[in-house]
Structure 1
Amino acid sequence: MKMTFAIAALGLASVLSFGANAANLVTEQQVSNDNLQSVGTISVSGIDGSPMSIRQSLSQKADEQGASAYRVIEARNNGNYHATAEIYK
């Protein structure tokens, strides 16, 4: 019983720590207010993506590029989804 609880607690901790390190979705106003510096763009595409999975993919790609934030500049979803975001440090 204690082992099951420990495994569940570790799983929850790893999920929470992933969320804490993920790049943040920001608005254009936040970019200017926080003086964020653009470091490029990223894009994701696929088939039948939910808005949450698309955001998660963008956040992961932004993290891989060393960005702390991203702003979606293009998004469409008509069977196949595509999203482009500007990334910031």
Structure 2
Amino acid sequence: MKNIKYFAAVATLAMTSFATFAAEPVNLQQAQKLTEVGVVSAGQATTLSSLEAKLAAKAEAQGASSYRIISAGGNNLLHGNAVIYK
């Protein structure tokens, strides 16, 4: 019986997520309810997905909970800017 309790406790802990929360993208309406804390920029991205991932990583590194991409462009390599929020 004691082993079953230990197994249940270990299983519960193993299923618990210990990951930190990543910065989440928001739209303009959602952003109006948040506090703007700065702007981040990223470049040298080959796809829009990789550009968004770079901007999200930079927002998270700055301690932001959310970000909103305000510009993106480029020909072969993309660059962009995002406003970050707490």
TM more than 0.5: yes
TM alignment of 1:1-20, pairs within 5 A: 17=19
Quote the Cα distance in structure 1 between the aligned partners of 2:28 and 2:84: 12
Q: Which amino acid aligns with 2:29?
A: Q
Counterpart of 2:46 in 1: which secondary structure?
A: coil
Structure 2 residue 54 is matched with structure 1 residue 54: no
Gap regions ≥5 residues in structure 2: 1-16
The equivalent of 1:30 in structure 2 is 30
Counterpart of 2:57 in 1: which secondary structure?
A: helix
The equivalent of 1:7 in structure 2 is none
Quote how far apart the aligned CAs of 1:77 are.
2.9
Gap regions ≥5 residues in structure 1: 1-13
Structure 2 residue 35 is matched with structure 1 residue 42: no
Select the residue among 76, 80, 86 that pairs with 1:79: 76
Q: Which amino acid aligns with 1:29?
A: Q
Q: Give 1 or 2 for the bigger CA radius of gyration.
A: 2
Quote the Cα distance in structure 1 between the aligned partners of 2:22 and 2:50: 14
Greater helix fraction, Structure 1 or Structure 2: 1
Q: Which amino acid aligns with 2:67?
A: Y
Q: Which amino acid aligns with 1:78?
A: N
Counterpart of 1:21 in 2: which secondary structure?
A: coil
TM-score (norm 2): 0.73
Aligned positions, number: 71
